[in-house]
């Protein structure tokens, strides 16, 4: 019998019928509660939308909550084990401890193996001894520490920029900078696969938002050309290394497009720093492009740099304006000093030990090439640090993740709606600490896990 999304056709139809029936019962129950609750509220003459003081609003009515409940029902119906939120008992590098067992690990961003390096932890401990764990205030008020300026100087130097600014969250960095920089009369043109933080920032700004086909610079130019004349300002946003697919853009093309259409170019380097280029400086180093062609460099401290937070590197006037006016910086506590110190030390080690970058890149190419030779679909991965294995089914991806875990390999599934259903995948993050034998063992485990999957049947 044919399979669809990891299920037999019969099983898939049975699951849909079961979920629809359960949803109908939930809707009936909710409608009945709403009727009784509404009458109670009217009887007491209270409340917005007929809610009385004694009636609590139901979170189940939130947009998306119903779909989430259906997803949970599907997981329960299929007896799927969740691969998420497993607690790691130590540093997660090439290997990790979960529960009482050791696993090969392909689910962490510790690209150069610097998280846990004694030099990095030593710098963090020294900062704690000197400054404590928290700056206890926004940097604008009294949270500024010398380690902040030191880190920002190193980041600006890496990108050949005049200045840099660090914030406490990578996600919040994109949200607050894009949301603050652009306005309702402006246009933001971005890759369709851009990170959620960028689209949330665009939504906050109120600007017109136009996605273009992933990694298609011609589509980007058409979109920008068509929208530019009617817009006040324009922002073109891409990533240096796409976290879902492991591919990279043609940076020089995007620089040309931005200049030709009087737009700012912003490059999210979250997964590029420490990964691309002979010494890990990023996509501009890998492709031999002058970094001055990019108006805004964005990145995170949580991958190669062993910390947490985000940064912007750009012209000094923009950085100073953000430093004094960006809500996510002005109204937020400053970056913890120990994280700033850890990130600075990680950046120094990255520059001093390029063998780490070379080892990472060798590992990723080996893994991608062998996976393809074994018949796995690795999509458009260029073999830098991220290699997806596309399963074409969210259910199949989840089942494979569990099967891999049972075989001593920790790798997470990426499922709908994070990616289209037909593009569901296992996503392998490679690091410099992996050995060739680790990579081969993981792929052999994947082949065995794939062969072991049998069609799911839904109980009646």
The predicted pLDDT at position 24 comes to: 57
Say yes or no to pLDDT of 433 above 90: yes
Question: Would the pLDDT of 35 be above 80?
Answer: no
pLDDT band at residue 33 using 50, 70 and 90 as cut-offs: low
pLDDT tens track for 352-363: 999 999 999 999
Between 292 and 12, the more confident residue is 292
Using DSSP, state whether 295 is helix, strand or coil: coil
Which tens digit of pLDDT belongs to each residue from 384-431? 999 999 999 888 999 999 999 999 999 999 988 888 889 999 999 999
| pLDDT (average), residues 434-457 | 91
Q: Which pLDDT value is given to residue 63? A: 79
Asked if 67 contacts 19 with a C-beta cutoff of 8 angstroms, the reply is: no
Tokens of 322: 């953000």
How many contiguous H segments (helices) and E segments (strands) does the chain have? Answer: 15, 15
Q: Provide the pairing of β-strand 163-167 with 187-191.
A: unpaired
Q: Which residues, 6 or more positions from 43, have their beta carbon under 8 angstroms from its beta carbon?
A: 52
Please give the angle made by the CA atoms of 209, 215 and 220, to the nearest 5 degrees.
Answer: 45
Catalytic residue positions? Answer: 243, 271, 303
- The DSSP secondary structure of 147-168, one letter per residue, reads HHHHHHHHHHHHTT-SEEEEES
Neighbours of 347 (CB within 10 A): 24
pLDDT at 7 over 70: no
Whether residue 14 is predicted with pLDDT greater than 70 in this model: the reply is no
Supply the pLDDT for residue 458. 46
Q: Which residue has the higher pLDDT, 13 or 284?
A: 284
Q: Note the pLDDT of residue 2.
A: 36
- Mention every residue, 6+ apart, whose C-beta is less than 8 A from residue 260: 221
Omega before residue 417 within 30° of 0, cis: yes
| Cα→Cα distances 25→21, 32, 36, 58, 357, Å | 6, 11, 17, 17, 55
Full-model pTM: 0.87
Asked if pLDDT for residue 145 goes beyond 70, the answer is: yes
pLDDT for 279: 98
Q: At what angle do helices 337-352 and 118-131 cross, to 10 degrees?
A: 150
Percent of the chain's residues with pLDDT above 70:
85
367 in Cβ contact with 373 (< 8 Å): no
pLDDT at 184: 97
**Rounded distance, CA 269 to CA 238, Å?**
9
Contact 182, 205 (CB under 8 A): yes
DSSP-derived secondary structure letter, 303:
S
For tokens 């001894």, the residue is 129
> Residue 18: what pLDDT?
53
Give the pLDDT score at 43: 42
Distance CA 310, CA 216 (A): 27
DSSP strand E in 296-359: where?
296-300, 310-314
Which pLDDT belongs to residue 456?
A: 60
Tell me the per-residue pLDDT of 41-100, one tens digit each, with 9 for 90 and over: 444 444 444 454 555 668 878 877 877 777 777 677 666 778 888 898 889 999 999 999
């Amino acid at each position: 019998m044919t399979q669809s999304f990891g299920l037999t056709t019969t099983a898939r139809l049975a699951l849909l019928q079961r979920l629809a029936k359960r949803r109908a019962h939930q809707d009936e129950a909710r409608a009945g509660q709403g009727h009784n609750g509404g009458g109670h509220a009217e009887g007491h003459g209270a409340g917005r939308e007929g809610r009385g003081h004694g009636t609590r609003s139901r979170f189940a009515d939130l947009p998306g909550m119903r779909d989430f409940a259906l997803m949970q029902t599907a997981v329960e119906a299929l007896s799927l084990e969740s691969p998420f939120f497993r607690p790691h008992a130590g540093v997660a590098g090439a290997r990790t401890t979960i529960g009482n067992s050791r696993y090969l690990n392909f689910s962490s961003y510790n690209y150069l193996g610097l998280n846990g390096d004694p030099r990095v932890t030593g710098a963090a401990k020294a900062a704690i001894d000197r400054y404590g764990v928290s700056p206890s205030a926004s940097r604008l008020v009294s949270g500024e520490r010398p380690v902040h300026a030191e880190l920002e100087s190193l980041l600006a130097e890496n990108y050949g920029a005049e200045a840099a600014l660090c914030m406490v969250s990578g996600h919040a960095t994109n949200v607050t900078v894009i949301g603050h920089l652009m306005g309702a009369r402006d246009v933001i043109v971005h890759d369709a696969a851009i990170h959620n933080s960028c689209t949330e920032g665009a939504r906050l700004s109120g600007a017109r938002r136009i996605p273009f086909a992933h990694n298609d610079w011609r589509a980007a130019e058409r979109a920008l050309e068509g929208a530019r004349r009617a817009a006040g300002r324009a922002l073109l946003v891409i990533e240096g290394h796409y976290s879902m697919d492991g591919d990279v853009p043609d940076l020089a093309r995007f620089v040309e497009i931005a200049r030709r259409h009087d737009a700012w170019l912003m490059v999210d380097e979250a997964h590029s720093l420490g990964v691309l280029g002979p010494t890990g400086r990023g996509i501009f180093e890998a492709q031999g492009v002058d970094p001055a062609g990019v108006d805004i460099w964005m990145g995170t401290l949580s991958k190669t740099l062993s910390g947490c937070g985000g940064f912007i590197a750009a012209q000094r006037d923009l950085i100073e304006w953000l430093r004094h006016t960006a809500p996510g910086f002005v109204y937020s506590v400053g970056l913890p000093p120990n994280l700033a110190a850890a990130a600075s030390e990680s950046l120094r080690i990255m520059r001093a030990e390029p063998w780490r970058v070379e080892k990472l890149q060798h590992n990723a190419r080996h893994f991608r090439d062998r996976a393809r030779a074994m018949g796995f679909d690795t999509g458009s991965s260029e073999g830098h640090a991220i290699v997806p294995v596309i399963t074409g089914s969210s259910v199949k991806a989840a089942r494979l993740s569990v099967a891999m875990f049972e075989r001593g390999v920790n790798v997470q599934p990426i499922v709908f709606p994070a990616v289209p259903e037909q593009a569901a995948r296992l996503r392998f993050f490679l690091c410099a600490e992996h050995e060739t034998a680790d990579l081969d063992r993981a792929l052999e485990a994947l082949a065995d896990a794939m062969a072991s999957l049998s069609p799911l049947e839904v109980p009646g």
